[in-house]
Amino acid sequence: MLGNDGQMLVDTGKHTGRSPQDKFLVREPGSETHIDWEANKPIAPAVFDALLDRVGHYLDGKDVYAMDCHVGADPRYRLPVRIITEYAWHSLFARDLFIDDADDASESFSPEFTVIDAALFDADPARDGVRSSTVVLVNFARKIILIGGTRYAGEIKKSVFSVMNYLMPLRQVLSMHCSANVGAKNDVAIFFGLSGTGKTTLSSDPHRPLIGDDEHGWSADGIFNFEGGCYAKMIKLSQEAEPEIWAASHRFGAVLENVMFDPQTRVLDLDSAAKTENSRSAYPVDFLPNFVKSGMVNAHPTTIVMLTADAFGVLPPIAKLTPAQAMYHFLSGYTAKVAGTERGVTEPTATFSACFGAPFMVHHPTVYANLLGERIAKHEATCWLVNTGWTGGGYGVGQRMKIAYTRAMVNAAIDGKLNGVEYEPEPFFGLAIPKTVPDVPSEVLNPRNAWSDTAAYDAQARKLAALFEENFRRFEAHAAPDILAVAIHA
């Protein structure tokens, strides 16, 4: 239904997020040697072909919606995609999220990939040879993505991102799960981070036009957005703290998934997680007041920010990274789930997702890491670790770092205001913490000082360091000596 401000309000049913256990890549000779099969699940071509045939029969005679669009703002690397959906609102979602070139719409459009999204089709595991009634299948040989059994539209976006993550490194383009913006001096900043760490929020800056909020390529010439829209988390969205995202989500054309609202007035209740914590808003990038219309900047990042939401309350709110440390944290991809988000979770739970997007990375993580390392070295980008999570204690004891403080720290880093300040060493993770940051109280900068019980902080820090050490063991055989030299040990 339509919300009070004209948004499309949709309920995605039992699937309120992605179904990673139901995503498979077709194992075929043309692509299998490039794919990291430790992280990606294979499926036989015959299984795919049979399911595609079944979906074809299922859709026969039904009204379906076709959307022709592009992925990748740079014409040299863009991918023409045709998206066929069972739901009209899924087609609107695709129109909001991808690049809709109205001038290119013609009978001559030739898609290089086709997405077939049969949201209400249920697979039969016993008959079809899949795990459940939900399927997300990517076939690089036939250039088809087949989605069924889920109404969650994010599967469309993320499966297309997986395709770009396969294609771009083969052309020496680093594909990244990150947001990006640019300043008046053509200074590009990119923000890596998992869901909930603040990529969209921190990159939406009234003084720095947005290039894109989630998925980018870094070519030999600069940065370009893969998308034409944004997919922002809505839970507890604040009009005061995040005015651009709030305004974009309160207008006709935006698609809001699983957001609670008053059934009489249709006014949104963004504080309610009654349906899910993962409520989302999809809207075109031109709904924002300040964005790069072309979606690309012929300049290389001068600032790289790696975001984490540390629910242990251990990591500093900002720390400067050496290039080797940046590579280490890129491969680690750390954030944390908070207590209470899942049954049985009574304390923060560490989550490590290589390249800050492991479910969407098709090649081995070191392929992306090596490309990033080459670019950091060549363009002398300054790297930072920023914790948007808890301070003064872990979740339930401390408090979440104020967005205003995080913005001030990130802005100071981008503007070069931290270049001349004094730094102090952090003993557990080998980080360099600035002693002063403009407009930020100095007492919040060193996390140990923010805890009332420093012995408890030390114990929690050792615990988190041990989790880092355990996770990184799988990369030790592949990592370069300079990265191994800065690896964290408990």
Tell me the per-residue pLDDT of 20-50, one tens digit each, with 9 for 90 and over. 999 999 999 999 999 999 999 999 999 999 9
Q: Helices marked H in 224-322 — which ranges? A: 243-248
Residues 465, 336 share a domain: yes
Residues 279, 325 share a domain: no
Return d(Cα 249, Cα 254) in angstroms, integer.
6
Return d(Cα 361, Cα 257) in angstroms, integer.
25
- Least Cα distance to 235 among 285, 179, 191, 281 occurs for 281
- Provide the pLDDT for residue 490: 82
How is residue 139 written in tokens? 């076939």
Residue 52, domain CATH: 3.40.449.10
Residues 123, 261 share a domain: no
**Residue 63 CB-density burial (10 A; 0-12 exposed, 13-18 middle, 19+ buried):** exposed
Residue 241, domain CATH: 2.170.8.10
Residue ending a domain, choose from 104, 136, 171? 171
- Per-residue pLDDT band for 121 (boundaries 50, 70, 90) equals very high
Task: Tell me, yes or no, whether 104 lies in a domain.
Answer: yes
Residues 113, 146 share a domain: yes
- Provide the pLDDT for residue 47: 98
Report, as residue numbers or ranges, the catalytic residues. Answer: 18, 158, 177, 195, 199-200, 214, 280
- pLDDT, one tens digit per residue, over 51-76 is 999 999 999 999 999 999 999 999 99
Residue count of the chain, please give it: 490
Return d(Cα 68, Cα 73) in angstroms, integer.
15
Task: Tell me, yes or no, whether 379 lies in a domain.
Answer: yes
Residues 248, 119 share a domain: no
Owning domain of residue 269: 230-287
**Cβ neighbours around 103 below 10 Å, total:** 5
- pLDDT, one tens digit per residue, over 324-346 is 999 999 999 999 976 444 444 45
- pLDDT, one tens digit per residue, over 343-383 is 444 567 899 999 999 999 999 999 999 999 999 999 999 99
Return d(Cα 490, Cα 484) in angstroms, integer.
14
3-state secondary structure at position 231 = strand
Residues 344, 304 share a domain: yes
Tell me the CB-side half-sphere exposure of residue 96, using CA atoms within 13 A.
29
Residues 235, 130 share a domain: no
Residues 315, 460 share a domain: yes
Return d(Cα 214, Cα 195) in angstroms, integer.
10
What dihedral angle (degrees, nearest 10) is formed by the CA atoms of 175, 178, 182, 185?
Answer: -70
Task: Tell me, yes or no, whether 309 lies in a domain.
Answer: yes
Residues 476, 409 share a domain: yes
Residues 337, 370 share a domain: yes
- pLDDT, one tens digit per residue, over 412-429 is 999 999 998 999 999 999
Residue ending a domain, choose from 263, 287, 311? 287
- Provide the pLDDT for residue 103: 56
Residues 322, 399 share a domain: yes
Return d(Cα 446, Cα 457) in angstroms, integer.
11
- List the beta bridge partners of residue 175: 217
Return d(Cα 54, Cα 121) in angstroms, integer.
9
Residues 313, 279 share a domain: no
Q: Say yes or no to pLDDT of 102 above 60.
A: no
Task: Tell me, yes or no, whether 95 lies in a domain.
Answer: yes
Task: Tell me, yes or no, whether 204 lies in a domain.
Answer: no
Task: Tell me, yes or no, whether 27 lies in a domain.
Answer: yes
Residue ending a domain, choose from 287, 310, 335? 287
Domain tally, the chain = 3
Task: Tell me, yes or no, whether 478 lies in a domain.
Answer: yes
Return d(Cα 488, Cα 329) in angstroms, integer.
10
Task: Tell me, yes or no, whether 180 lies in a domain.
Answer: no
Place of tokens 């894109």: 212
Return d(Cα 79, Cα 386) in angstroms, integer.
33
E strand intervals along 16-100: 23-26, 42-43, 65-71, 79-85
E strand intervals along 160-208: 174-182, 188-192
How is residue 298 written in tokens? 């012929």
